[in-house]
């Protein structure tokens, strides 16, 4: 995969063919122009062609929804909005791999990006999709730097307490990202039951809650700035041998839900299967595209589940 002079990405023909084959046909038009789409890159190569690609599964569902007739899209997204306390009225639109061009969180480097953003004149829904991932992504500030003159150093000690970033040598701050003028902890008390003037050991967002925090504060700021009600929904592949469904029954997840100020912004979950069932109901069960999409996604999920559920041969002897 190569970057061209315009800043877009040119995918090698064989990689593009793999990616196209792994995306539901009705959703493929949603990623055009192809070279400008924000593809997932691993070691310099787009990995969206892999059967367990979370990005491909998100495109399958939300790309099809983006390309659906307005009436169908309004019915499906309006029902989801109503379920989570948002006004259902459309018209609804969908954007894939969305990031805030206004950069309301003042993020440096890679901005928070949501797999899909659904908007109406009255509401905003940020969607994050999980397939084979075990949980959210962790904060990089607590990890040793892998290169450069500060290789091996950590920018944060993993506790939310006054400290100096040994890499930057800047002023004391409870969060290395706050010292970089990123607004997470300015918004966090609007979304979580946390006091930014108190110490927390460890930092609540040292681990996988970090990704959920970023998604939630972004959803809050987007809705607040535009005068619309907003919420955040995790859409996950439900299978007994995939890791994420098990997370939802853990005490750790319940603690996260307990910290979220649900009166201000919700953290919700829906399985891909639930969304597809809802789509089937809202379109009267007569639309071939939704039946085919349901079969397509179920087949991917079963394959990934079988792969994860296959017992490993013991090496003990």
Region of residue 103 (left: phi > 0; alpha: psi -120 to 50; beta: else): left
CB 211 within 8 A of CB 129: no
Between β-strands 229-236 and 123-130, what pairing exists: parallel, antiparallel or unpaired?
parallel
Residue 235 has pLDDT above 50, yes or no: yes
| Residue-wise pLDDT tens digits, 94-149 | 999 999 999 999 998 889 999 999 999 999 999 999 999 999 999 999 999 988 88
Both structure tokens of 66: 């983006």
Domain range summary for the chain, segments of one domain joined by +: 8-135+209-306, 139-206
Alpha-carbon gap, residue 100 to 112, rounded angstroms: 8
pLDDT band at 313 (very low <50, low <70, confident <90, very high): very low
Stated as kind and residue range, the H or E segment containing 57 is: helix 54-58
CA distance to 24, 26, 206, per residue, from 288 (Å):
13, 11, 45
Alpha-carbon gap, residue 58 to 62, rounded angstroms: 6
> What's the mean pLDDT in 77-90?
96
Residue 173 backbone phi and psi in degrees, to 5: -155, 150
Stated as kind and residue range, the H or E segment containing 75 is: helix 70-83
Q: 34: which DSSP letter?
A: G
More confident residue, 37 or 315: 37
CB 126 within 8 A of CB 215: yes
What is the crossing angle of helices 272-282 and 288-309, to 10°? 170
> What's the mean pLDDT in 293-301?
97
Residue 170 has pLDDT above 80, yes or no: no
H-state helical runs in 157-237: 176-179, 184-191, 209-226
Alpha-carbon gap, residue 271 to 64, rounded angstroms: 16
Both structure tokens of 192: 């979580």
Let me know if 263 is exposed, middle or buried by CB neighbors in 10 A (0-12, 13-18, 19+). Answer: exposed
Q: 175: which DSSP letter?
A: -
Both structure tokens of 104: 């309301």
**Has this prediction a pTM greater than 0.95?**
no
Residue 49 has pLDDT above 90, yes or no: yes
Both structure tokens of 286: 């007569």
| CA 304 centroid distance within chain | 19
Q: Which residues contact 37 (CB under 8 A, 6 or more apart)?
A: 9, 31, 96, 97
> What's the mean pLDDT in 222-226?
93
- Give me the architecture of the 8-135+209-306 domain, per CATH: 3-Layer(aba) Sandwich (3.40)
Alpha-carbon gap, residue 86 to 228, rounded angstroms: 9
């Amino acid at each position: 995969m190569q970057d061209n002079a315009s800043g877009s990405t040119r995918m090698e023909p064989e990689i593009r063919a793999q990616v196209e084959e792994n995306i539901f046909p009705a959703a493929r038009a949603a990623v055009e122009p192809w070279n400008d789409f924000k593809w997932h890159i691993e070691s310099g190569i787009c990995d969206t062609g892999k059967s367990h690609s979370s990005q491909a599964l998100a495109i399958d569902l939300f790309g099809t929804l983006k390309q659906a007739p307005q009436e169908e899209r309004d019915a499906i997204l309006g029902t989801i909005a109503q379920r989570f306390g948002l006004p259902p009225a459309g018209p609804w639109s969908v954007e894939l791999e969305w990031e805030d061009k206004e950069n309301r969180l003042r993020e440096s480097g890679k901005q928070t990006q949501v797999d899909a953003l659904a908007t109406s004149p009255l509401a905003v829904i940020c969607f994050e999709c999980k397939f084979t991932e075990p949980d959210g992504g962790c904060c990089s500030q607590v990890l040793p730097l892998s290169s450069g003159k500060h290789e091996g150093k950590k920018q944060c000690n993993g506790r939310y307490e006054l400290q100096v970033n040994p890499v930057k040598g800047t002023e004391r701050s409870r969060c290395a990202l706050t010292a970089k003028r990123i607004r997470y902890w300015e918004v966090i008390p609007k979304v979580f039951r946390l006091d930014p003037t108190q110490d927390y050991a460890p930092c609540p967002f040292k681990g996988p809650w970090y990704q959920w925090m970023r998604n939630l504060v972004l959803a809050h700021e987007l809705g607040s700035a535009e005068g619309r009600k907003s919420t955040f929904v995790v859409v996950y592949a439900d299978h007994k041998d995939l890791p994420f469904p098990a997370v939802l029954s853990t005490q750790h997840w319940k603690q996260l839900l307990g910290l979220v100020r649900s009166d201000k912004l919700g953290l919700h979950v829906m399985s891909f299967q639930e969304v597809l069932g809802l789509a089937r109901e809202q379109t009267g069960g007569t639309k071939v595209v939704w039946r085919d999409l349901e079969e397509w996604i179920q087949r991917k999920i079963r394959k990934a589940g079988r792969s994860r559920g296959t017992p490993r041969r013991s090496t003990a002897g």
